[in-house]
Amino acid sequence: MVSVILPFYNASRYFREALESVITQPHLKEVVVVDDGSTESETDIIGEYAPLVRLISQEHAGIGAARNRGVDQATGEYLSFIDADDIWAPEKLRLQIEAIRSDDAVDAVLGSVSEFISPDLKDSCAYMIDKNRKYYAAHVGSMLIRRSVFMEIGPFETRWKLGEWIDWYLRFQERQPRIVELPDVLYYRRIHGRNTVITERDSYGDYLHVLKQSMDRRRKNKSVGNGP
């Protein structure tokens, strides 16, 4: 029932752990790995789990484009996402499928996120991180969503280096969706030296563009009586 989208870009150090946290999940139909122009290859690992796991390759276009490519190829009734450096909790899909199938009006299910420091992170950076922080978050990796609902909202924006998920989630919120929020930790986010928010720190201005666009849409909808 569930198609999992796993974008991959030069994350071979963590990829196997991410993939293996997914393939043991119940209700899994397929894992679509999208190689976003990596110079590293994970073909051997993916081959171990074929045909459950399949690989799609493209020229480097960013994580938003990679997720969109995966969604286009997905065939499951539900969609879920994981980044190649993170880990799912063992009960993630079971808990989320139970929640979303209990009510046809539920559009998506989200859960809590826990951050952990990768052993390879330099001590000079690690001190800045709140170790083992747990929080409820609208995080792409903690979401299970009906594929039909995702298609109504539309694809991830590809022009931003940062903020493509925030942009999508704001558009989703503007629809006034029905979301179930589970208290369970469903997603473990790895903090390491190549997190996008670190490598793309010069693109923080993207967040402002994303928020401005959302505000403009809300004003427009309010002026025509189509929203709160």
Confidence of residue 212 (pLDDT cuts 50, 70, 90): low
Residue 199 has pLDDT above 50, yes or no: no
CATH 3.40.50.300 assigned to domain 2-223? The reply is no
Q: What is the mean pLDDT of residues 170-197?
A: 84
**Amino acid (1-letter code) at residue 202:** D
Rounded alpha-carbon distances, angstroms, from residue 125 to 64, 121, 132, 162, 192: 27, 7, 15, 20, 9
Note the pLDDT of residue 12: 87
Residue 186 has pLDDT above 50, yes or no: yes
CB 123 within 8 A of CB 145: no
Per the omega criterion (within 30 degrees of 0), is the bond before 51 cis? yes
Predicted TM-score (pTM) of this structure: 0.82
CB 157 within 8 A of CB 167: yes
Beta strand residue intervals within 68-178, DSSP E: 78-81, 87-88, 108-117, 134-136, 144-146
**Tokens for 82?**
């994981």
Note the pLDDT of residue 206: 47
Percentage with pLDDT > 70 across the chain: 75
CB 114 within 8 A of CB 47: no
Rounded alpha-carbon distances, angstroms, from residue 84 to 117, 146, 186: 15, 22, 16
CB 6 within 8 A of CB 38: no
Tens-digit pLDDT profile for residues 91-122: 999 999 999 999 999 999 999 998 887 776 65
Q: What is the mean pLDDT of residues 76-104?
A: 97
Beta strand residue intervals within 129-175, DSSP E: 134-136, 144-146
CA atoms within 13 A on the CB side of 194: 12
Note the pLDDT of residue 125: 53
Q: What is the mean pLDDT of the chain?
A: 84
Distance CA 46, CA 156 (A): 25
Note the pLDDT of residue 215: 62
Tens-digit pLDDT profile for residues 47-68: 899 999 999 999 999 999 999 9
